[in-house]
Structures are given as C-alpha cells and as structure tokens.
Amino acid sequence: MKIEAIALREIHMKLKAPFETSFGTVQNRRILLVEVVADGASGWGEVTAGETPAYNAETTDTAWHVISDFIAPSVVGKSVAEASELPPLMARIRGHEMAKSGVENALWDAAAQLKGVPLYKLLGGTMQEIACGVSLGIRENPQSLVERVEEELRSGYQRIKLKIKPGKDYAFVAAVRKEFPDIRLSVDANSAYSLDDAAHLKKLDEFGLLMMEQPLDWDDIHIHAKLQAQMQTAICLDECIHNTRHALTAIELESCRIINIKLGRVSGHTEARLMQEMCRKRDVPVWCGGMLESGIGRAHNIAMSTLPGFTLPGDVSASQRYWSEDIIEPGVAVTAKGTIRVSNTPGLGYAVRRDRIEKLTVRRSNWDARHAASEEMSTVRTESC
C-alpha cells in the first residue's frame, strides 16, 4: 500500500450534555479526523486527545502540531505491506500516541477496504457482538445519579461506571448500590487521589465493585501496587498504560488486575492488539475505554473490542448518548441486551458522512505525494481555514 495522501481536519461537535470528570468538564469537543488515501482507498481515523492536557499530556493542538510537522511528512509517499508496518515509521517520535493512533487507524480502515473485509476481521477479531457499558459523569447529588443509572439500565447497558472525585464518591456509590444491589458497577477516579487516601478508598470495598479505575497518579504504576495490596476491589489502570511494556510492568508489579485499553492512549490498533494478547496469556481481563469519540473513533473501538482478550463490557455506547447527529451512518446502536452487533461490511462498517464532516470542519491541512513539487520536497502541503 502506498500512502498517497493525508488530510487532517479539525471538526467541532457539541455533546448533548456536559461530561464531568475529576479533571474537568467538557461539552464542546474539538476533534481531529485523519483521512489517509492508500492505493486509492480512503480510510478514516480519529485523534482522541482532549481539548486540555488534563487526562494525559496530549491536546487537540499538540496532535495537530505533531501530525502536521512530523508524522505526515515522514509517512506520505511511503509504502507498507500491512498497516502494522506503520508504527516503525513513526517510532522516532516520542510519545504523542493519540496523534499516531489517528493516522495508523485510518490506514487500517483503508487496508480493510482494499482487501474487501471488515476491519474487525482484519484485526483478528472473533466476536460478532460486543458487550457495552456506560461511563457516567459526576453529578450534583446522589439522587440525580441514581436516576441516570436507572435510565441507562433501562436501555440495557451491562455495566455502569461512575466517575468519582474526593467529596463526590462514597455517598454517590452507596446510593447507586442501595438502589441496584446486583448490577455490575465500577468507579473511575482519573487520578484524583493519593496514597494517603487509601483508608478512604478501602471503604468502597463494601460495594462489591467490578473495579476501581486509575485512583492514583496518572504516571505512576508502582504506587498503584501499594494500594492494590491493601484493597479487595480490583484496580484497573487507564492513564498509566501507553504500551505493552507498561501493561507488563503493571501486571508483574501487581499494580492492577484489569487493564483498560484505549486505542489513542496506546498509539493505535497494532499496539492494542499486542497488549490484549499479552494480557490474555496472563489471564488479565481487558476492556475498551472511550474518549467521548465521534462515530469514527467509536467504529474503531467496536472493531478492537471484538478481539478475544476483551472479556469485560467496554465504554462503547450508542451514538445517540453523545450526539444529536453523528458523522457516520447508521449511528452506533445498542441492543436491548446491551450489546453492539458488529457490521460485516468492508472497512469501518459504517458509512462516513462526508457532507456532515464538511459542515463541522473549522480547519484542514493536506499532504499529497502525487503532486510532489521537487525532489527534496516529497510532499506538497496545502492548508486552509
């Protein structure tokens, strides 16, 4: 496959409701979409960076910079046999996993189309239907949270995850657990606590949670081992894990018993696939996390979730929970039993609504190997606002 062109664009999409985590509230998403043209096929990827560097170090703007100034110039015009050969071409760029993921995943989509197979099959996915959970933002009071949980359960979701932070934790989880004693329930702190809070966090053991996600420092695997040793509840790492080596470190140190895999955070399908395989060999369950994605990122999450290591419900939920109008067609739909049936059409499995994307676009940049201007300049870059 020759990478003939890359188109990068920023689109603005407004979430139906503000989403609050321990690190902030977001409603107006600034999403980067990457379109990679390879051998005439056009594949799409999404950069899942946030608007601020509050979840991890990347932002919409750092990803724009890194793709524009480093990734696109080094990959446009290159040829690879498989999409999994793209990461070595980006290996000299340290970090910036979400920027890399947007480009790599777009190439996977193009590769699947060129082969005439659904992306999930190209990745080695084995499930035709995946289990879905929801992630609920922090609420004003426990009662309004209980009402939200009730709604999501009525829609069929198989697991409820509650965002927590100091002062908005014990009473909220207690209220939900009292109302729904048997549901699969978990919490996500997004690094809001320190080891000094261990006694407080241990109180949550009484609620029989499926897991507690990333309670401590975003970049400290070791410190989670100290907490896990004191807690019954399984710790799940999210922010700390950027590659398979990190996941192995966490498993060997017993820092967690479950791992959340997010395509952006781990730099794309190639690394995600390796990570789930390593975890599976060690009997560590993994699940697919979400980053409030548009339909394009969501379709990639669905494809990844069909791999055999993904044994727990993911934060992969219906388009209509997030957007009044998604950029794929049909929107992602969840069945009454809380599953998504995987599409068997080639590529992403959903049609990309270019017309809607066009209307939402606020800036774009293109690199094209076919119109190379000179020998030194292997690509031509055009930019417009």
> Hey, what are 220's tokens?
């400290």
Q: Which of 231, 292, 272, 228 is nearest to 254 (CA)?
A: 228
Radius of gyration of the chain (CA): 20
User: Does the footprint of Mg ion cover residue 188 (CB under 5 A)?
Assistant: yes
Which residue is nearest to ligand OSB, using beta carbons?
A: 290
Q: Map residue 305 onto helix, strand or coil.
A: helix
User: Does the footprint of Mg ion cover residue 20 (CB under 5 A)?
Assistant: no
DSSP state of 284: -
List the one residue from 118, 142, 289, 309 that touches ligand OSB (CB under 6 A): 289
Residue whose CB is less far from Mg ion, 73 or 137: 137
User: Does the footprint of ligand OSB cover residue 270 (CB under 6 A)?
Assistant: no
158 Cβ contact partners less than 8 Å away, ≥ 6 residues apart:
131, 132, 133, 184, 313, 337, 338, 339
Residue whose CB is less far from ligand OSB, 315 or 326: 315
Residue 135 interacts, among Mg ion, ligand OSB, none and using kind-specific CB cut-offs from 5 to 8 Å, with: ligand OSB
Q: Which helix (H) or strand (E) holds 340?
A: strand 339-341
> Hey, what are 128's tokens?
């035709």
262 catalytic? Reply is yes
Alpha-carbon distances, residue 332 vs 103, 329, 364 (angstroms)? 22, 8, 26
Site string for Mg ion, 225-254 (x = CB under 5 A): -------------x----------------
Using CA atoms, how far apart are residues 329 and 339, in angstroms rounded to an integer? Answer: 18
User: Does the footprint of ligand OSB cover residue 215 (CB under 6 A)?
Assistant: no
List the one residue from 42, 190, 319, 379 that touches ligand OSB (CB under 6 A): 190
- Report the nearest approach of ligand OSB to the CB of residue 381 (Å): 31
Using CA atoms, how far apart are residues 287 and 310, in angstroms rounded to an integer? Answer: 5
163 catalytic? Reply is yes
Using CA atoms, how far apart are residues 308 and 292, in angstroms rounded to an integer? Answer: 24
List the one residue from 104, 188, 271, 326 that touches ligand OSB (CB under 6 A): 188
> What phi, psi does 168 have (nearest 5°)?
-130, 55
User: Does the footprint of Mg ion cover residue 315 (CB under 5 A)?
Assistant: no
Kindly indicate which of the ranges 54-62, 90-98, 182-190, 216-224 contains the residues binding Mg ion, using the contact rule CB under 5 A. Answer: 182-190
User: One of 161, 163, 165, 168 is an active-site residue; which one?
Assistant: 163
User: Does the footprint of Mg ion cover residue 293 (CB under 5 A)?
Assistant: no
Q: Map residue 356 onto helix, strand or coil.
A: helix
> Hey, what are 232's tokens?
């019954």
User: Does the footprint of ligand OSB cover residue 292 (CB under 6 A)?
Assistant: yes
Using CA atoms, how far apart are residues 123 and 279, in angstroms rounded to an integer? Answer: 17
Residue 56 interacts, among ligand OSB, Mg ion, none and using kind-specific CB cut-offs from 5 to 8 Å, with: none
Residue whose CB is less far from Mg ion, 68 or 243: 243
User: Contact positions toward Mg ion, by CB under 5 A?
Assistant: 188, 213, 238
User: Contact positions toward ligand OSB, by CB under 6 A?
Assistant: 55, 135, 188, 190, 238, 289-292, 315
Any idea which residues carry the catalytic annotation?
Answer: 163, 262
